[in-house]
Structure 1
């Protein structure tokens, strides 16, 4: 469930939408995820983003240690990083601690994770983003503390990260053209209830429509918003003023 009806998310939106630089936007993100136990973050793009004229890269914005980001890029560790590998094919956020369960880690990948831990990057979470034209990006969150301080609110943290990605692209867009996306009244209703944390089955009952109809609306919403998850669709719609929380 998405569940974006949260005071802190509304507070984050106000601050993030006022940010006029990437650094300012990233600072807002760090403050938000800090409430949930993370004090390290990195934003990267796994593919080129031609719509904003930006090449793929690790550490576009980050609070990871400088020497780690430099080492990562010099050694091209994205090719062995299991977080990057899984994030490129998975749409949902995941904890680093679940990697062993989600993929078969090679010896090299296990050594990589130990190196990251030695660099002070522990108890991490990855929020991947998949946009139109096969765009892939993501945010990695971690803590310097050995004890896991994450409060477990994956949906809300994912919403913060998803909005950062949307807002970053908006800042980087080469022209000032506003995205002209129109949702039908029913699509707006469906997505509003999804943002409130309702399942498709619950939305069907609330709106007195079939489960299949809800699914059809969600597919059209995803297509219009260039999203492949309920969280990213809801966050982008909120950012564009198409729905409110």
Structure 2
């Protein structure tokens, strides 16, 4: 049985996306999964084609999934976008027996038809190389008895999934020539910190002994650098990156 150190070591040592895919595929196999998919759920918009993905599922299942347009009806994407908690396919109401005949239910039935008895989904959220929020999921495909899945899945797998996501984002950033946003200055961090704590521009100016105009300037810069358009978004990114603590 692999350990978390084994998994993280293989992921961190990957020098390209193919190597990363191979490393996680080996981990998936060692844990008893038949295959896995990594899918960028930011790009799942009708009419925009397929998002970035890596998958080791059976070729016939992949063809069925694409030919049937299941990507527009698969409920795992909405669930993964709204949670950090791993879940099973059968945790979703859209996959319940009462949903027979619906398009989401058909996604699960197609998986069954191709030998997949259960799936384990790991939502992963981070920032890409340009500092933008990036959400993906890793779906692990099981072909053994469904009840054996939960008992054999290590708790650290979600950490390995997040490491995979962060490494994939970094490697895609290098491939696409993306660069991280300019760092925030100390004063910009200070202004965001007090905004995070509920202070207005005027109150922040008093606390920092600067003018209202200067406080507003620093907040606007802190929004402009990562390319966001609202103060709450800038605050959220700064907290996520560890630049400020609420």
Fold agreement, TM-score > 0.5: yes
Q: Structure 2 matches for 1:1-245, cutoff 5 A?
A: 8-48=3-43, 57=50, 60-100=53-93, 106-107=99-100, 108=102, 109-132=104-127, 133=132, 135-150=134-149, 151-153=151-153, 155-173=155-173, 174-175=176-177, 177=179, 223-224=240-241
Deviations 1:20-60 (A, max 9, x none): 222211121122233332121011112239xxxxx873572
1:123, 1:70 → 2: CA distance? 19
2:98, 2:74 → 1: CA distance? 10
Indicate the SS of the match to 2:121.
strand
TM-score, normalization by structure 2: 0.60
Please, which runs of 5 or more residues in structure 2 have no aligned partner?
A: 185-235
Number of matched pairs: 180
| Change in CA separation of 1:69 and 1:180 when aligned onto 2, cut-off 3 Å | farther
* Structure 1 residue 72 displacement after superposition: 1.6
> Is the contact between residue 34 and residue 142 of structure 2 (CA under 8 Å) also seen in structure 1?
yes
* Structure 1 residue 142 displacement after superposition: 1.1
Aligned Cα root-mean-square deviation (Å): 3.6
2:90, 2:83 → 1: CA distance? 16
* Structure 1 residue 126 displacement after superposition: 0.6
* Structure 1 residue 61 displacement after superposition: 1.0
Q: Give the structure, 1 or 2, with the largest relative contact order (CA under 8 Å, sep 6 or more).
A: 1
TM-score, normalization by structure 1: 0.60
Please, which runs of 5 or more residues in structure 1 have no aligned partner?
A: 1-5, 50-54, 183-218, 227-245
